[in-house]
Every structure is written in structure tokens, then in C-alpha cells.
Chains A and B, each alone.
Chain A
């Protein structure tokens, strides 16, 4: 049960990564690989600030801003310096590796007894003193820590608020223009929007959310690691793809909800696969294969069925 709750919480945290990937890959149609560096950047900034005794809310917010800057740099490289978008992302991601090491001061930075948003969440609404085990509930043979439930509640509120803000943003004049930028660049340019600026701004928001995800992740698992971004783009894509098939709609609100649901579901699927004996070393291979199948599967099935039909006819 604890494991299930853990997976659920992780899924919620990583849903911000999924929303970030949704914005860059789907809404802006920009293949942004900065994500791998910016999730670590968010984690590194938050961890470094927490260790130095900063307020966890402030640390998390600064992590968001740092991610936004990383995204903006990729945007400027791609739109002002006209570097290929994929390459711009790779350049920034690579540079961020060193930046993250600088920020953390070493490759792995544990949080010991620092106050974090998670310690804050664990004691929300109780006068209970922080203890190692805390209170528990027993339902049948399941024992649930109330602190874990509070964390889930807290994360749900945070993710819900971020999702609501993003949804509202995409209904504004600015947000509409951003969606149109990915949908039809030529049209939105003819309507007076500077496409390069809009993409840069979108990438900043996207990577800000990804870094926010990293900051929460670090506070949840209790350490930052310079390797933690590895494979996160594909992870985010998997969540987005699952989400799209779950909601089956292209509406922006549904896509946002789908990404969150997709992230949680994917995390649960992975946890289950690991329990069934999937070697953790094979996890990234499995994730990549999953995304590959989801990307080429539908068209391959189409082609195969067409071939089959013509074969039957002749």
C-alpha cells in the first residue's frame, strides 16, 4: 500500500513534467530536449537553497524561474540564432549538466533534516509532533500513514492549481496566440505575432514547469542527483501519449487533465512492472520501446490493415 501511495505521489509530481512536455512537443510543436537538464536544474536549485536554509516555498519558486531561464535560452538559440531546435535543446541540456554540478557543489546532494514542502505537507492541519512513523490508519490489512495522505492531498492541490492556471492562461489572448503558434505558424505571423518570441516564451513556461517538477521530486525523495534528468523527455512523452488516449480529445483542458492522468497511470504501470520482476536496469529501454510503439503503432496498424484489405479484394 505504501508503495502504491508512493507511486501515486511520484506520478503527481512528474505530471508537471508531462505538462511541460505537452506544451513544448504538442502545443508549440517544438522538440525540446532541454527538459532533461531543466528537471535536474530545478532539483539542484531547490536542494541547494534548502540546504542553505532558505524558505522551501521560495526555493521551489526560484527553481521554477531557473527552469524558465533555461527554456528561454533554448528558445533564443533556436529562434534568434536560427539553430536547429533539437540541437539547441541538446546544447542547453549539455551545458546544464555543468551548471547543475556547480549549483549542487557535488553530484549528489541529500536533504537531511531540512524543512521542505514535503515536511510542511506532512504536518498540514495537525498539531502532531514530527515523528519517524507518525499516525497511521488501518483499513483491513492495509496500514496507511496519515502523513502520506497529507502529502498526496497537498500535491493534488498544487498540481490542480498549476493545471488550472495553465488552463486559464491558454484561454487568454496571449495563450491563444501561443497555441496558434504551434498549430499554424504562417497564419499567426500574418496576424501579427512574432513567432520566435512566442516560442521562446512557451519554452520558458514549459521548462519552468519541468523544473518545478524537479524541485518537488527532490523534496519528495530527499535528495538531488545530477543524473536524475536522464530519460525524462521520453518519460514525459509516454505520459502525454497515455493521457491523449485516455481522454481522446484535442481540447486544451482535456489534454492537461490527460497529461496528469497519464503521468500517474504510467508511474503505476511502471511500479507494477517492477514488482512483477522487470529489471530496473531495463526500465528506460522499456519506456523507449513503449513510446516507439505508441508513435509508429497506429500508422503501422493502418498500413497493415490496408494491405490486408487490398490483399483480400484481389
Chain B
């Protein structure tokens, strides 16, 4: 389904700000699998998702989606197959446009956009039903500007938009991180529902160990631009939030060791 082969990405190469965000990531994701991505801050989780979505081109390596090589496809072309929800609720919706208009935009993700009415009665009706199905009571506010909604409502709608046309791949980048706990729970419930109903292949970044342990059927952990753990099947099912915290501690300790080793070397040689 998605083949990530040895991708690397360095930001600002050759400058003092050089960041090696991805240092050879290999990952094969099967159709219908739900992959949780965790890792320390700055470990390259967002960069990985952005590389798949096409926000930038990778320096080396290949990306294949459904057997097609998409390595050199621009972002808007990949959008036909990929639905996204971002961390910031403001990123996923057009604030000055109405709920209905935002949904109508998503109803043509990756398709030709011609001179047909964007909101003809049949589309309007379908969108109404979809929004009602979310159970947030937003179906009667379809003509309100989306900017007037709360972050949780906006994230829920962005999620609905991402799945409006069934995507081959759904990318969720900490999409509940900016929400209060109650809205975050609501959005997570909706996420599970959407993924299960349409059997969506999903990559979801999260900082919540609860979510990481309880959701998904596979979990990868990233450190410094590499995948260091990959749990699948029964192994993933057995993971508890505590296990995951232990792994983080391990990483932190080895990082510390690296640092002390580096400073020792520095003292000896410089």
C-alpha cells in the first residue's frame, strides 16, 4: 500500500541551521492498517508525514503509494489519494467560508473543479446528512463561517472533510494536541469511528501514551530521524502506556550517555 524506502531529508543543508530531520526511514504499511507514530520532540514525526503528503520533496529515497512511484509528485497531486488533519485547527479549514462551503471543497479533493454549482441541492443534502451523522449538532449551522466554531468542532469537521471522499491514506498529525481534554476525547472517538467504518489506512502521530497504547494495530517510535521500534500484531496489543514511557526513558538515558560520551571525547581531544 505505502512503501517508504530509505528516505532522507535535511533542512538548510550546509548551514549552521542544518537539521537532519529524516535519516533513512524505511516503512511498509499494509492496506487497512492503522499506524501510531510516537517519538521525542523534533524526532521527525511531522517531517515523515509531510514527506508522505508531499509538502516538500525528499533528498533521497522513494515513496510508493499503491504501487505508483509518487516521489516526485507535487502535494496537490498526491491529495487525490491522501486525506489530512493537522495539529492546528486553523490549518485544516478556510475560516471565512461557511461550513457547507468547506465541506464542498473537500467533496472534490483531488478532482477537477469546474463551473458546476459547488452546493447544488443534492450535495447540500448529502453534506447535511454527513454532518448530522457526527452528532455534534452542527447540521443546522451549515451556513455559518467555520471561523466561528471552537477548535474541537473545527477538528471534527476537518476529519469529516478528510474522509468525505474515501482517501487511500489518512494522515493525522497530533490532531488532538491543541484541544481541551473533552474535545480531544470527542475527536478521538470520531477518529476511531471513521477509520473503522471505512477501513482507512492511517498514520497517526500522537503525544498521548493513552492514545498510543489503545489505538491502532501497529506502533512505530522515532528518535532523531529514525524508526527505532516497530510493534505489530500481538506485541502492539500488549503495549501499555507504562511500557511506552519506559521506552522513552530508555531513549532519554541513552541520549544522556551519548552526550556525556561526546563531552568526554571533547575534553580529551579538543
Contacts and interface: CB of A to CB of B under 8 A. Distances in A.
Given A187-B91, A192-B110, A250-B145, A172 B117 contact: yes
A173 B104 contact: yes
Interface residue tally of chain A, by bracket?
Answer: 20 to 34
B219 interface: no
Interface in B98-127: 101-102, 104-106, 108-111, 113-119
Given A190-B53, A191-B105, A194-B76, A173 B93 contact: no
Contacts of B76: 189, 192-195
A184 B113 CA distance: 17
Nearest to A183: B94
A192 B161 CA distance: 13
Contacts of A171: 117-119
B97 A180 contact: yes
Interface string A175-187: 1110110011011
B77 interface: yes
Nearest to A184: B94
Given A171-B119, A173-B115, A174-B115, A191 B110 contact: yes
Contacts of A188: 94, 105
B75 interface: yes
A187 B93 contact: yes
A175 to B, nearest CB: 7
Interface in B130-162: 145, 161
A191 B93 CA distance: 10
Interface string A66-93: 0000000000000000000000000000
Interface string A188-205: 111111110000000000
A250 B97 CA distance: 9
A183 B101 CA distance: 12
A105 B222 CA distance: 68
Contact of B97 (A169, A183, A186, A192): A183
B75 A189 contact: yes
A293 B263 CA distance: 58
Contacts of B161: 191
A191 B106 contact: yes
Contacts of B79: 189-192
Interface in B66-103: 74-77, 79-80, 82, 84, 86, 90-97, 101-102
B114 A187 contact: no
Nearest to A176: B118
Nearest to B79: A192
B90 to A, nearest CB: 8
Contacts of B102: 180
A183 B96 contact: yes
Contact of A173 (B77, B82, B110, B114): B114
B50 to A, nearest CB: 11
Contacts of A189: 75-76, 79
A172 B112 CA distance: 12
Nearest to B81: A192
A169 B97 CA distance: 15
Contact of B75 (A169, A174, A190, A250): A190
Contacts of A176: 97, 101, 104-105, 113, 118
B24 to A, nearest CB: 26
A172 B108 CA distance: 12
Interface in A149-188: 169, 171-177, 179-180, 183-184, 186-188
Contact of B96 (A172, A173, A250): A250
Contacts of A250: 96, 145
Contacts of A191: 79, 105-106, 108-110, 161
Nearest to A26: B96
Contacts of A190: 53, 75, 79, 82, 84, 92
26 contacts: A169-B115, A172-B117, A173-B115, A173-B116, A173-B118, A174-B114, A176-B101, A176-B113, A177-B108, A177-B113, A180-B94, A180-B97, A180-B102, A183-B96, A191-B79, A191-B109, A191-B110, A191-B161, A192-B76, A192-B77, A192-B79, A192-B108, A192-B111, A193-B113, A194-B74, A195-B76
Given A176-B118, A189-B75, 9 more contacts: A172-B118, A179-B97, A179-B101, A183-B97, A184-B95, A188-B105, A192-B80, A192-B108, A193-B113
Interface of A: 169, 171-177, 179-180, 183-184, 186-195, 250
In the A-B complex, list the 4 residue pairs whose CB atoms are closest, starting with the nearest.
A192-B79, A192-B110, A183-B94, A173-B113
